[in-house]
Chain A
Amino acid sequence: MSWLPFFIYSAVCQGTPLLFGATGEILTEKSGNLNLGIPGIMYVGAISGVIGGFFYQTSVKTVNPVLAILIPTLSCLLGSFLVTLIYCFLTISLRANQNVTGLAITTFGVGLGNFFGGSLIKVVKSEVPYIALTKISKYFKQSLPFAKNLGWFGQIFFSYGFMVYLAIAIALIAGFVLKKTRIGLHLRAVGESPATADAAGINVSRYKYCATLLGGMIAGLGGLYFVMDYSSGIWANNGFGDRGWLAIAIVIFAVWKPHLSIPASYLFGGLYILFNYINVGTAMIPILKMLPYIVTIVVLILISVRKKRENQGPASLGQSYFREDR
């Protein structure tokens, strides 16, 4: 069983970007917006962090730990905020179709990420051969110093960079806010029945804007974690792969509950790398990679068959709200 602690460690590392994405998407969907732009937003979050970090690292000789974390994080938040703002403006203010807008955001965001990832050096006419933010990444990867002394226990619980714990904290806070506070109640009302919420004096547009923007920024952090911690600050085009869609799958798997998305993300992360640990021959790897999606479909079917009220997605998911339409 000596591989088990490392397997769990790898599953958590794989699951963390998914957790950020899933938490962000849950907040968004709770307001009734089905944001299929999340994969693109995560790319934008990642590349914004990289751009911020790149300018910082190339402009100074020695890297200050606080700034090394602050600058990429803030530029990541700003980037994902702006691209989510496009989504919000189109779907909430201009009442555009959410599916089409979301897919357009994904096309745009993935393109933006890959373009700047591949051409940033050329565009800013820099001298360095490729983007390697290893100096900055060091601070993102910094784990607790005593983790190594604790054996398997330390590896499973303490050997991660700070963003892993941040992801858990954000998911727990999101769950608490949704379930226990007035703001969360209002937000859920907006997602279930915007017309009723509107009649009760809740500002529907404001809630939709805030939840979607916040959700986009949280998802963007997932991209930042992936490039700064998981990939050690080295950008690879399309390296993030289809993780954005997996994050959307987790939302269903966790039946729209942020605290359930924590184990769900680690489970999906584990499924993602399972083929490294099971001796099945290369042909079976794709079959194993199908598992997360098949499991998600099964859950999707089950919740629609059982029709339990508390396990359904928000009732107005995917629909624009227009007061005069009622």
Chain B
Amino acid sequence: MKNGQKKKDAFFHITKRANPSLKRGIIVRAVAILAAFLLSALVTVLLTGDNPFSVLSTLFSGAFGKGRMLNTIHELAILLCISLAVTPAFRMRFWNTGAEGQTLMGGLATAVVMLLLHDKVPTFVLILLMFLAALLVGGIWGVIPAFFKAKWKTNETLFTLMMNYIAIQAIEFFLKIADKRGSNVVDSEMLGGGIPNLFGVPYLFNIIVVALLTAALYVYLQYSKHGYEISVVGESENTARYIGINVNKVIIRTMILSGMICGLGGFLIVGGASHSIDSNIVAGRGFTAIMVSWLGKFNPIMMILTALLIVFLGRGADEITTIFGLNKSFSDILTGIILFFIIGCEFFIRYEIHWNKERIREFFHDIGNFFVTLPEKVKLLFSGKKAEAEKIADEEKQSGKEDA
């Protein structure tokens, strides 16, 4: 800013909305998702040369077309399960970025039980043991960072993040010792057992379990004393302490729960679907789950919708890439675009922008003035009368100020 020139007002200022209305929330999100879809369609059209309508119909047929419904619902169930797992932790502002590792460890525990006991105990007992082992190991993987967070306030985001990669290597280690052939998968042949199809429908067990879990977690978070304590700790640890909540206990208890539900996810993936294990069985869902949970406002019922949106996009995009022979990662790009829009639109729900109309008018006035006097200034400049040109510019500024 030059000397003598008054600092001008800002174009707008921002305030927090006291009570963001439900209607506004729905409209803003709908507009954001619509805009994201338009941009995604545009990107797809540019990359494939297909026409927009057929892109859209391919998206839908990829997710909901004939013979795909069951897979889509199962995919939704698994993603939702892991998203539910991170939700209690997020509600108390414990950033559990370690769902990937906790789920992997649950899957690993399931696989170990299957490998060791599949020909020694009856199916029912085996499944029960798989279930318990997965919950136990998932819970342990979750409680380690929670313990340090409660005791020394160790940064949980980074701690849980690092635990993921230890879990991945733990699985690699298991593969190396369990499978002497040196392949990178321990397959169903070696594991044996697994959950049989209910009523002859594959994945039905998984889908029912996750449906029950969703309802149970909703009640737990919304109506139980534990759920209330979690919310208070998330809102303010000091308040929680003041009203007599043992914050450390809540942190540890909630992370055990979070890790156990992740472990359940691993159990469902390994025991109820793949019947095999490798270090890529979770396939980044632990990270996607964080976004699903956040987008669903940490509300289990809302999260069904957000998880569906992500699964729909992923499967639809896969279909597009198959048809056009493109790389599978295309779905990640579309998911990214959708996420950016939804993340960004929250701002317009929570905050209000107040435009400074006077300042904007002044701005356009200045621009107008600039162009009106432009020919004259150019003429003067070219005729070598620089000083006069500057004088006109100064007058402009003066008049601008007077107008304001």
Point out residues on A near B: beta carbons under 8 Å.
Answer: 34, 36, 86, 89-90, 94-97, 99-101, 103-119, 122-123, 237, 242, 245, 248-249, 252, 282-283, 285-287, 289-290, 293-294, 296-297, 300-301, 304-305, 313, 317-318, 322, 324-325
B201 contacts across to A, CB distance below 8 A: none
Q: Number of B interface residues, CB 8 Å?
A: 55
- Complex CA distance for A69 and B184, rounded to whole angstroms: 38
Instruction: Please judge, given known A-B contacts A108-B336, A118-B327, whether A324 and B16 are in contact too, CB under 8 Å.
Output: yes
- Determine the residue in chain B with the shortest Cβ distance to A249: B162
Q: Which residues of A contact B331 (CB under 8 A)?
A: 111
If over half of A's interface residues share one DSSP class (helix, strand or loop), that class is named, otherwise mixed; here it is helix
Look across to chain A and name the residue whose beta carbon is closest to the beta carbon of B351: A95
Tell which of B161, B173, B340, B346 touches A104, judged by Cβ atoms closer than 8 Å. Answer: B340
A/B interface sample: 14 pairs, CB < 8 A = A94-B346, A99-B290, A103-B291, A112-B329, A114-B332, A122-B326, A123-B47, A242-B168, A245-B162, A283-B177, A293-B166, A300-B158, A313-B155, A325-B16
B336 touches A107 (CB 8 A): yes
A50 to chain B, nearest CB (A): 14
B70 interface residue (CB < 8 Å to A): no
Contacting pair B152 A324 (CB below 8 A): no
B347 touches A117 (CB 8 A): no
Q: Is the CB of B20 closer than 8 A to any CB of chain A?
A: no
Interface centre among A297, A301, A313, A317 (most CB of B within 10 A): A297
- A293 contact set on B, CB distance < 8 A: 162-163, 165-166, 169
Within residues 88 to 103 of chain B, which ones have a CB less than 8 A from any CB in chain A? 95, 97
Q: Do A96 and B344 have beta carbons less than 8 Å apart?
A: yes
Interface residues of B in 173-208 (CB under 8 A from A): 173, 176-177, 182
Question: Beta-carbon contacts of B303-327 to A below 8 Å, as 1s and 0s?
Answer: 0000000000000000000001111
Q: Give Cα distance in the complex from A244 to B51, angstroms.
A: 37
B161 touches A245 (CB 8 A): yes
Which A residue's beta carbon lies closest to that of B337? Answer: A108
Q: Which residues on B sit within 8 Å (CB–CB) of A89?
A: 344
Q: How far is the CA of A90 from the CA of B336 in the complex (A)?
A: 13
Interface centre among B153, B294, B324 (most CB of A within 10 A): B294
Q: Are A118 and B165 in contact (CB under 8 A)?
A: no
Which residues from chain B contact A318 at a C-beta distance below 8 Å? 95, 157
Give chain A residues whose Cβ lies under 8 Å from the Cβ of B64. none
Q: Is B335 an interface residue (CB 8 A)?
A: yes
Can you name the residue of chain B whose Cβ is closest to the Cβ of A303? B154
Given the known inter-chain contacts A104-B336, A106-B287, A285-B176, please indicate yes or no for A297 contacting B47, CB distance below 8 A: no
Is the CB–CB distance between B152 and A118 below 8 Å? Answer: no
| Measured CA separation A132–B162 after assembly (Å) | 34
Residues from chain B with a CB closer than 8 A to the CB of A86 are 340
Residues of B257-314 whose CB lies within 8 A of A: 284, 287-288, 290-291, 294-295
**Given A117-B327, A248-B161, A286-B169, A100 and B343 contact (CB-CB distance below 8 Å):** yes
Nearest chain A CB to B8's CB is how many angstroms away?
15
Q: Are B333 and A112 in contact (CB under 8 A)?
A: yes
**A247 to B336 CA separation, bound complex (whole angstroms):** 22
Of all A-B residue pairs in the complex, the 7 with the closest CB atoms, nearest first, are A111-B332, A108-B336, A118-B327, A114-B329, A286-B172, A94-B347, A104-B339
Determine the chain B residues whose CB is within 8 A of the CB of A119 once the complex forms: 47, 326-327, 330
A289 to B169, CA, bound (A): 7
A111 touches B336 (CB 8 A): yes
- Kindly list 13 other residue pairs between chains A and B, CB separation below 8 angstroms, not including A112-B329, A116-B327: A99-B97, A101-B343, A108-B336, A111-B329, A111-B331, A111-B336, A118-B327, A245-B161, A286-B172, A286-B173, A287-B173, A297-B166, A322-B14
Contacts of B182 in A (CB 8 A): 282
B287 — which chain A residues lie within 8 A by C-beta? 103, 106-107
Residue pair A111, B294 in contact (C-beta under 8 Å): no
B-side contacts of A108, CB under 8 Å: 332-333, 335-337, 339-340
List, in ascending order, chain B residues with CB within 8 A of A325's CB.
16
| Cβ-closest chain B residue relative to A110 | B332
Complex alpha-carbon distance, A300 and B164, angstroms: 15
B383 is an interface residue with CB less than 8 A from chain A = no
Determine whether B370 belongs to the interface, using a CB cutoff of 8 Å to chain A: no
